[in-house]
Structure 1
Amino acid sequence: MAGDGLITVQSRFGVTETIDRLAEVVKRAGLVVFARIDHAAGARDVGAALRPTELLIFGNPRGGTPLMQDSQLAGIDLPVKALGWEDEQGNAWLSYNDPHWIAGRHGLGDVSRAAVAAIATGMEKVIAAAAGMDQS
């Protein structure tokens, strides 16, 4: 984990396919996809250029609600999200906020420890599957 709380994983696929895969994986895991934002399309709409960049916002109220009950301001970081983006060399990446960093940011206590650990494990699994890095 970098000091900024972000975890970044390289994808074997392009940005759009990676986000498509992520959306499918999270749905199969019983999570809800709340939104998908194509930042590059937004840039095109205003006549600007941006390499492929897409954000997927997803989660499950069963996981996030206990964190917000512990510290309501945790809602600024929930539901969880992952950013698919392309670097200057054309490589695709998935970046997301480390759930443990979110917990530290909001001073979440022992009550939230199990939920944070479950979210962290779940994020690792869905990100790895979407990026083509799962070990199954």
Structure 2
Amino acid sequence: MTNPNHLILPSCLGFAETLAVLKQAFAAKQITLFAEIPHSALAAEHGLPLAPASLLIVGHPAKGTPLMQADLLLAAELPLKVLVYEQNGRVQVLYRRVLPLVAGRGLDAAETAAGQIDAATGALIAAALESVSG
């Protein structure tokens, strides 16, 4: 089932390699990695099984801050979320789009900026994954 709020792209790499490639791609574009939440590793620490899954929280303050200036409540949604996960033997990358979070708030300039962030982030993830697909 597709969700218009998400961009999901397949990776030809393993889970750890996909994480590494994305981190390198974000760093190369000066996108800050604010946090990595290793869901599966944290579950394992408590004896709970979970397929490989890690959430990258990334962003660039110069891009996200104007959205929060337009509506401070967007600070609960930002920075950007990128989930790397393995399901049914396939590694995928899920990017949670920003535009749906901004749409309908009557913030035309913020909607434009959110659309640009989504386009740039989606293209960056796709390019990073394609660069290693050989």
Query: Unaligned regions of 5+ residues in structure 1, if any?
Result: none
Match of 1:126 among 100, 113, 124: 124
**1:66–1:112: 8 Å Cα contact kept in structure 2?**
yes
Deviation at 1:120, TM superposition (A): 1.1
User: CA distance change for structure 1 residues 65 and 117 in 2, over 3 Å: closer, same or farther?
Assistant: same
User: Per-residue deviation at 1:102?
Assistant: 1.8
In the TM superposition, residue 130 of structure 1 has moved relative to its aligned partner by 3.2
Structure 2 distance, partners of 1:95, 1:64, is: 19
1:77-126: CA deviation from partner (whole Å, max 9, x where unpaired): 111010001112x1001111122212226x25112133212211221122
Q: Which residue of 2 aligns with 1:11?
A: 11
2:127 & 2:19 partners in 1: Cα distance? Answer: 11
Paired positions, count: 132
1:114 — aligned with what?
A: 112
User: Quick check: 1:37–1:56 contact (8 Å CA) kept in 2?
Assistant: yes
Distance verdict in 2 for CA 1:120–1:48, change over 3 Å = same
Render the CA deviation track for 1:41-97: whole Å, top value 9, x for unaligned. Answer: 101100011111011111111110111111111112111010001112x10011111
Q: Equivalent pairs: percent with the same residue?
A: 31
Q: Say whether the 8 Å CA contact 2:81–2:96 is kept in structure 1.
A: yes
Q: Is the 8 A contact 2:58 2:81 kept in 1?
A: yes
Q: Compared with structure 1, are the counterparts of its residues 69 and 108 closer, same or farther at alpha carbon in structure 2 (3 Å cutoff)?
A: farther
Counterpart in the other structure of 1:94: 93
Where does the alignment leave 5 or more consecutive residues of structure 2 unmatched? none
Find runs of 4+ consecutive structure 1 residues off by over 2 angstroms.
1-4, 129-134
RMSD: 2.0
Say if 1:18 and 1:104 are closer, same or farther in 2 by CA, change over 3 A: same
- Give 1:4 deviation, angstroms: 5.7
Q: Residues 99 and 8 of structure 1: is their aligned pair in 2 closer, same or farther, counting only changes over 3 Å?
A: same
